[in-house]
Structures are given as C-alpha cells and as structure tokens.
Copies of this chain bind each other. A is one copy, B any other.
Amino acid sequence: MEDFINTAEPVGSRTIARRYGFGISPATIRNEMADLEEMGYLEQPHTSAGRIPSERGYRYYVDHLMEPEEPGEEEKELIRKHIKLKSREIGTVIQQTGLILSQLTSYATLATSLCGRSAYRHIQLAPFGPGQAMVLVVLASGEVFHRLIPVPEGITPYDLESISSVLNAKLRGLTVKDIKFTILKEIYTELSYYRRVLDLAFELIQEALNVKEERVYHGGILSILSQPEFKNVERLQTLLGLLEQEDFLCGLLTSNSAQEGISICIGREFKNKEIRELSMVSTSYRITNDMYGVLAVLGPTRMHYARVAGVLKYVSENLLEELIKVFGK
C-alpha cells in the first residue's frame, strides 16, 4: 500500500522482498498477494505487472491499518503562522488555511465559508450617486454581501439611514428562516411614515434575504497536474472544469462529510461519476451550534491518506481555535 502510494507504480513481489526485507522470499509474497487479490484487496493492471490496491484495499487500509501521521514541528509552526487573523477578514483566513493545507499535502483543498443558520448582524443602505444606493448585508458568519439598487429621485441619505435603522432594529439577530410575515408587517407600519420609499424598502428586504449563504473556496487545484495519473490533458480538462464550479464543490462537501472528525471518501464511493478517480479526506469544525465549516483535501485515489489525515486534523483544530477568538465561545 505505502509503496504504491509513494511511487505510483504497481508493486511486485521481488520489490517488496528486496525493499522491505520481511525475511521471506518473493515466492511466499506472491502466494500471499494472490490470496489478497482473490479476496478483493489487490488488483493487477495486467498479468505481468505488480499489484495495486483496489478501492476495497484502500478502504481496509484507512479503516484498520492507517495511523494518522502527526505533522512535524516545523510544519506545525508553518501552519500556526499562516492561520492568523492578521487580515481580520474571515473569508481570507479560510482561504489562507486552504492554501497552506494544499501546500503541505500537495493536493487540492476545498473549504466552505462558515455555514449554518446565519443571522443578520447589520443591514446598511449607503448612498451611491444619483438614483442609486448600495445595500450592504453583514451576516453573523462575517460574510458581507453587497448590491446596487435603484432608488427613486428625492430620497436623501438621511432617508436611507432611517430605513437602515428600522431594518436593523427588526431584522438583526434573525436568520432567513426566522423572518415571518408579522415582522414584515411591523416593518411596514414602522416605515409608513416614509410612504414613498415603502416599495423600495420591501424590495430591499427581498434583496437582503436573497443572499447566497454558502461559498466554497478552493486552493491548489493545479497540484493535481503533477500527479502522474492525470497526464492525459482531455480528462484533465473535464476534471478541472468541474472543480471550478462552486455549486458542484458545494454539493460534494455537504453530501460527503456530514460527520464530525475525519471522514474519507474513496473513488467509486462518490455519488458523482466524474470524480471516481479521486478521493477526499474531509473534516468539519463547529464554532457554535449554528455555525460550522468544512475543510477537505481532494486528491487521486492513490493519496497519502495517513499524512493528509494528520495534517488536516491539525489544521482544522488550529482554524477552529482562531475563529473562536472572533466569535467567542
């Protein structure tokens, strides 16, 4: 298993005997390997090649044999140094985390923005030139969405400010699902003073509610170019094309990493056909009951699972720690 993971070449009986010297001869190893193949743990690309692990073999390895490999001290140092909230911009921190993870494993990484039932923290209407206003929506996850909307002539910055404060008073702390008709009605009566901007206000609420909540950052996707299994440019094209689609990645993360702790998905275990040559090691970290994130490493089936699992664990723990500094406990 480990020899194949390192070399990407089928492993023969003589190689094992010579390289690892268990004190048994190639012939014995051949017999054992023939047994393992019959049991479905190994495969032969063609009759006179060595063996490679089957997906069942990988599964057995990650479930029973593998021991997550603790990253070295310098690596830990590097990780801690990169997951700092220097920039004070949560998206950037998560993206940075993905990058360092990808750099240390040399596989692609995926990272969701903080997700869960995210509440509104602030809604602001800012004046923006004649006939326009900029809607700013800040979510509890630290994400910010913005959009331009047209406003009728005659609306002053002061009006915008008033509307903002009404919206904030009514909506702050609520999640999208919490918003009920009664609240909208309250806002309506509150703003009836501003007869002429009422329609605008409701359009705005609509906008503020319509933000897309989850994003997926990716990093190091190009690292799969250096994996020998992806020398074929055409395959590469479909694969890279997929990995640039945020929707696709989002589905991948949500459907394959529900549990806490490290979880591993191998090749054909994916529901999606196009990525059946890949494996994913993922983990989720929970900041509050309502807020969590997912980190994942995506690489070829022949992935260095032990190392990836170890690094991923350490990275996700550090990220969680850093984010808790922002969001409190």
A-side residues, CB < 8 A to B, are: 85, 87-90, 121-122, 124, 126-130, 132, 134, 136, 138, 140, 142, 144, 146-149, 222, 225-226, 230-231, 233, 236-237, 240-241, 244, 326-328
Expressed in whole angstroms, the Cα–Cα distance for A247 and B271 within the complex equals 38
Chain B residues near A132 (CB, 8 Å)? 326
Contact of A225 among B85, B88, B122, B237 (CB under 8 A): B237
Known: A148-B90, A240-B222. Contact between A127 and B121, CB under 8 A? yes
- With a CB–CB cut-off of 8 A, which chain B residues contact A241? 222
A124 touches B126 (CB 8 A): yes
Nearest chain B CB to A161's CB is how many angstroms away?
A: 8
Complex alpha-carbon distance, A136 and B326, angstroms: 17
CB of A292, distance to nearest CB on chain B (Å): 17
B148-A142 in contact (CB<8A) = yes
List 7 additional A-B contacts (Cβ < 8 Å) besides A124-B136, A130-B328, A225-B236.
A88-B147, A89-B147, A126-B138, A134-B138, A136-B136, A222-B240, A225-B237
- Chain A binding site: helix, strand, loop or mixed by DSSP? mixed
Complex copy number for this chain: 2
Q: Are B130 and A121 in contact (CB under 8 A)?
A: no
Complex contact A129–B88 (CB within 8 A) = no
With a cutoff of 8 Å between Cβ atoms, the chain B residues found around residue A148 in the complex are 85, 88-90, 142, 326
Per the bound structure, the CA–CA distance linking A144 and B85 in Å amounts to 20
Q: Quick check: B89 and A146 within 8 Å, CB to CB?
A: yes
Closest to A207 in B: B88
Q: How far is the CA of A170 from the CA of B288 in the complex (A)?
A: 39
* Min CB gap A172→B, angstroms: 9
Which 3 pairs across A and B sit closest by C-beta, in order of nearness? Answer: A122-B126, A144-B146, A88-B148
Q: With A and B bound together, what is the CA distance between A126 and B138 in angstroms? A: 8
Is B226 a contact partner of A237 (Cβ separation < 8 A)?
Answer: yes
Task: Return chain B residues, CB-CB under 8 Å to A236.
Answer: 225, 233
Question: Which of A87, A134, A241 gathers most chain B CB within 10 Å?
Answer: A134
